[in-house]
Amino acid sequence: MTGDGSYHHGNLRAALLERAEAVLTASGAEGLSLRGLARDLGVSHAAPSRHFRDRQALLDALAVSGFTTLNARLRSAAAGGADGADGADGVDETAGAAGPVGARLAGLGRAYVDFAVGHTALLDLMFTVKHADDSSAELRELGHESLLIVARLMEEGQRTGAVRPGDPVQLAQVAFSTVHGLATLAVAALLDDTPLSEAMELALEVLLAGLRPGR
Amino acid sequence: MTGDGSYHHGNLRAALLERAEAVLTASGAEGLSLRGLARDLGVSHAAPSRHFRDRQALLDALAVSGFTTLNARLRSAAAGGADGADGADGVDETAGAAGPVGARLAGLGRAYVDFAVGHTALLDLMFTVKHADDSSAELRELGHESLLIVARLMEEGQRTGAVRPGDPVQLAQVAFSTVHGLATLAVAALLDDTPLSEAMELALEVLLAGLRPGR
DNA sequence: CCAGCATTGTAGTCAATGACAACATTCGAG
DNA sequence: CTCGAATGTTGTCATTGACTACAATGCTGG
């Protein structure tokens, strides 16, 4: 591994993905070129083709990778861990780990938005629909996993009486929509004066209120 | 402007935009090439550059156009009518009266989702953040207009007691997020078994319940 | 140990594209 | 009518994705 000048790079595929994510974050998907990556890594212009059939395959792989880390963070948040990405968030979580469903749902939402604003271009990739059919299936599967994490929390909320009855998956879709949409607004600079955290809190309050059982 | 009265060789700019939107719908933004458009319209490959500084400028113009028609539809829906063809609007109306606020908000949401699923690639463009700085300002302005349409309905709802107190703009952001997010899920094929209309109704119900005052 | 073969990387090439420059045509104003 | 500004055309260049042929590497079975 880490062969610097050797003929075989050793782990070109991983290196490509790593560099690609950096470029994606820095310059967006438009600015991502296979030849550019090859240059950055000091390999020939055709080397990437050994690992990614075409440019779209690389983008698909990035999206898959993005969903995987997103899901990991969501799982962590759903389990009650208040940590989003970095340890420093300054929010004092009085409730213990795995506290009330509402609080954990809120934590989930915050984790999602954290990820979204930290990886805007990647999130774009993840939800944009021009993926190859084969990887599209994988992406859908990973997306469903995200939703399932939320749905399980919904079920638990239903058991504890915090959430109205109904198909947990459908309720999860609603919750997911709210949070994802908010992230989109934030990234599009449409929140303006409203600090994202404030918008987030209001959204969560409205969402949780709407999810509560009626009367 | 007003080149519509006297065009020597044809109204290329408008033709480009029209064709571009068609291509965008059919093949996505990736498949949109200036030279391709030129070919389609039977002009030379450099002709488009007379009307759009570069490819991004064309995409920006498409996004602007998209927001404009979206806002028109939202206004129409907010006014309470499903059928378009409203006369001269623009003047602030003192008291809207076309059904209860909840129903009109629901109509607004449906109008949005209709537009979204009918123009997925365009919506992508509208909310993707790689626009030139100058048109970016225009796009943000148009986005704010969309939000304002919702916010006005929120204000009205607050007067009639259907909506909790609070900054109408922030409440509109929450509502917008929910609906936009749902459209995203639908386009990403993450709703699966759930018919979009059903997911929409549930989302609206949860949203409206969450927006109601009291607790 | 080593011979063959799959893997991985290289060099060369091609068509498509965006961008730009120089030139041509058409319109409109003075 | 003439001149200048739009508007469109031809020519050109660098970049890119994709493909092909070839070379170096490393692994595996005999």
Asked whether strand D has any atom less than 7 Å from the CB of B46, the reply is yes
**Distance D16 C1' – B34 CA (angstroms):** 16
Nearest to A124, CA basis, from A44, A184, A214, A84: A184
pLDDT for B81 equals: 67
Identify the band that residue B131 occupies on the pLDDT scale cut at 50, 70 and 90.
confident
Mean pLDDT confidence for B124-133? 85
pLDDT for A133 equals: 80
Q: Which residue has the tokens 């504890």?
A: A160
- Cβ contacts (< 8 Å) between A206 and chain B: which residues? 171, 174, 207, 210-211
Cβ contact, residue pair B170, A194, below 8 Å: yes
Cβ contact, residue pair B140, A189, below 8 Å: yes
Number of Cβ within a 10 Å radius of residue A13: 14
Return the CATH fold of B9-52. Answer: Arc Repressor Mutant, subunit A (1.10.10)
Report DSSP letters for chain B, one per residue: --TTS--SS--HHHHHHHHHHHHHHHHTTTT--HHHHHHHHT--TTGGGGT-SSHHHHHHHHHHHHHHHHHHHHHHHHHT-SS----S--SPPS---SS-HHHHHHHHHHHHHHHHHHSHHHHHHHH-S---HHHHHHHHHHHHHHHHHHHHHHHHHHHHTSS-SS-HHHHHHHHHHHHHHHHHHHHTT-STTS-HHHHHHHHHHHHHHHHSS--
Tens of pLDDT, residues B176-215: 999 999 999 999 999 999 999 999 999 999 999 999 997 5
Same fold, A9-52 and A66-211: no
Identify the band that residue A54 occupies on the pLDDT scale cut at 50, 70 and 90.
very high
pLDDT for A193 equals: 92
**Distance C18 C1' – B181 CA (angstroms):** 34
Q: Tell me the average pLDDT of chain B.
A: 88
Asked whether strand D has any atom less than 7 Å from the CB of B195, the reply is no
pLDDT for A88 equals: 43
Domain A66-211 has CATH 1.10.357.10: yes
Identify the band that residue A129 occupies on the pLDDT scale cut at 50, 70 and 90.
confident
Residues comprising chain A, all counted = 215
Residue boundaries of the structural domains of chain A: 9-52, 66-211
Find the CB nearest B202 among A28, A144, A170: A170
Q: Which residue is nearest to nucleotide D6 (CA to C1')?
A: B50
Instruction: Give the span between the Cα atoms of B21 and B29, in whole angstroms.
Output: 9
Q: What is the pTM of this model?
A: 0.90
Tens of pLDDT, residues B53-80: 999 999 999 999 999 999 999 999 998 7
Asked whether strand D has any atom less than 7 Å from the CB of B130, the reply is no
pLDDT for B64 equals: 96
The phi-psi region of residue B85 (left if phi > 0; otherwise alpha if psi is between -120 and 50; otherwise beta) is: left
Pick the CATH number of B54-82+95-211 from 1.10.357.10, 1.10.10.920, 1.10.10.10, 3.40.50.1580: 1.10.357.10
With both helix axes pointing from N to C terminus, report the angle between A101-118 and A120-127 in degrees, rounded to the nearest 10: 100
Nucleotides of C under 7 A from a protein CB: 7-13, 16-22, 26-28
Asked whether strand D has any atom less than 7 Å from the CB of A56, the reply is yes
